[in-house]
Amino acid sequence: MGRLLNPLLACSLLALVLPAMASAQEVGSTAPSVYASDPEFTNRAVGLGAFRLTAGAEARIDYDSNVFAEPVDGSSDAVFRAAPYAEISREGPLSLSLRGSLDLRRYASESSENSEGGRVQLRAGLALPAGQLLSSEVSWDRAIEDRGDPEARTLLGLGPRRYDILTGGLAYRRTSARFLLNLAASAQKVDALDILDADRDYNAYSGQAAFGIRPGGAFYIVASAFTNRREFRLEEIVPGVDRDTTTYGGRLGIQSDGKGLIEGRLAAGLFKLEPDDAATQSRTGFSVDGLLTYRPQRRTAISLEMFQGDVASFRGGASARKDSSISLRLEQEIRHNLLGRLSAGYRRTSFFSLAQQQETWRLGAEAEYLLGPNASLIASVRYGDRDSDIPIEVFDRFMAGVGVRIRL
């Protein structure tokens, strides 16, 4: 399931509760950054007084060349996925939204991999005078582990790991022509459902403060400080070693005002990981967080995303690892009813206190043909290749599929 949701990142996004990017199941989500505002394809939500109702689904069938991400002779299979969603929302000075979604997977042969994921998310935003926004979010996720994740289950026949993740947060944002202020805090409870994975249960508490000044143009220069506390339910997997940790750090960077050819944020700095265990050495590392989108023309968007920092880990009784990732995505409106996306990504995973490292490359392409305002056809291909110091973790994987997206 990728890295578990970073609470610090989650709370920093709370200020975006009003304009939200299309979710993966929605018509046009192949290229949401350039999805046309053509009235022919505009989403016509159902009005319910002051509220609006939107609903839809994605159904697809994929070929997976290596279901279990095995190093040699991987098992291939076909998987059917259905992902319905519904959202009721209210816009205005007091904005509200309640969204629910499911992700159902059924395999033709490897039935042990069948899964049911889902999410329920409640968001609220209150616009205050002088460019202020107070926002909050509460969500519950049933997350399904991907077999290609850095610490995914390697045993066959047990199915992927399943997690219940409860997240809540508050954020305050104030912007003006010259200054920007962001304050955010969140808490997250991660519960692995299988008793075999009890060592993966933990709570995380995060906070962030950022101040920016705009010297001119479309960008603020922003300085930020952050902290993240992890408390594991089973503190000592290795006898006498406390796994709880505190991370803190700071970054300096830029953030756009949402206008112009380039939008987004990019910041770099340092983080320090402080274990509670007195015998475990603290670690300092380079911290990066960025997502920039360049729009050379209305129908084209090029996005660059970067991350480096510590992430929860469970290997060998450890509590953290360092992930470094970069990805590039091209979104294009090829015709007024045809969208395309190309993507490439790289991730390096280094395990603290262990001489182990993984490197993963990913490539992908997707096309979406809009049949009308309420339906589209999709086709996609993806390829991933991982190298590792541990031979059993080396694999390559090809996936291709077709599907349909509909909305009411």
What pTM was computed for the model? Answer: 0.88
Residues 6+ apart with CB under 8 A from 72: none
How confident is the model at residue 1, as a pLDDT?
A: 43
Q: What is the DSSP string of 52-66?
A: EEEEEEEEEEEEES-
Q: Tell me the C-alpha to C-alpha distance, in Å, between residue 257 and each of 2, 74, 124, 129, 291.
A: 29, 47, 22, 18, 14
Query: Beta-carbon neighbour count of residue 133 at 10 Å?
Result: 21
- Helices and strands counted in the chain (H then E): 1, 19
Inform me whether the pLDDT recorded for 15 exceeds 50. Answer: no
Cβ proximity of 225 and 211 under 8 Å? no
Interval 160-216: pLDDT, tens: 999 999 999 999 999 998 999 999 999 999 999 999 899 899 999 999 999 999 998
How confident is the model at residue 319, as a pLDDT?
A: 62
Interval 21-67: pLDDT, tens: 345 678 888 998 887 666 777 767 788 888 999 999 999 999 999 99
Is residue 21 helix, strand or coil? coil
- Residue 4: pLDDT band by 50, 70, 90 thresholds? very low
How confident is the model at residue 371, as a pLDDT?
A: 92
Cβ proximity of 379 and 365 under 8 Å? no
Q: Which value, to the nearest 10 degrees, does the dihedral of the CA atoms of residues 207, 213, 218, 219 take?
A: -50
Residues 6+ apart with CB under 8 A from 347: 150, 323, 324, 325, 358, 359, 360, 362
Interval 63-98: pLDDT, tens: 999 999 999 989 999 999 999 999 999 999 999 999
Q: Which residue has the higher pLDDT, 14 or 183?
A: 183
d(CA 263, CA 257): 7
Inform me whether the pLDDT recorded for 14 exceeds 60. Answer: no
- Residue 313: pLDDT band by 50, 70, 90 thresholds? confident
Could you identify the residue written with the tokens 């509220």? Answer: 51
Interval 90-110: pLDDT, tens: 999 999 999 999 999 999 999
Q: Tell me the C-alpha to C-alpha distance, in Å, between residue 74 and each of 66, 148, 199, 247, 388.
A: 5, 12, 28, 38, 17
**Can you give the C-alpha Rg of the chain in angstroms?**
22
How confident is the model at residue 24, as a pLDDT?
A: 67
Within 145-276, strands assigned E span 162-175, 179-192, 202-216, 219-232, 245-256, 262-275
Q: Is 17 left (phi over 0), alpha (psi -120 to 50) or beta?
A: alpha
- Chain centroid to CA 3: 8
Residues 6+ apart with CB under 8 A from 276: 242, 243, 244, 245, 246
What is the 8-class DSSP label of residue 403?
Answer: E
Interval 114-149: pLDDT, tens: 999 999 999 999 999 989 999 999 999 999 999 999
Domains annotated on the chain, with CATH: 7-407 (2.40.160)
Interval 314-353: pLDDT, tens: 776 556 788 999 999 999 999 989 999 999 999 999 887 6
Q: What are phi and psi of 336, to 5 degrees?
A: -65, -20
- Chain centroid to CA 300: 22
- Chain centroid to CA 12: 13
**What is the amino acid identity at position 380?**
S
* Half-sphere exposure in the Cβ direction for 195 (13 Å, CA): 0
Residues 6+ apart with CB under 8 A from 278: none
Token code pair at residue 364: 């992908």
Interval 254-298: pLDDT, tens: 999 777 789 999 999 999 999 888 888 888 999 999 999 999 998
Inform me whether the pLDDT recorded for 2 exceeds 60. Answer: no
Inform me whether the pLDDT recorded for 18 exceeds 70. Answer: no
d(CA 230, CA 292): 29
Cβ proximity of 132 and 173 under 8 Å? yes
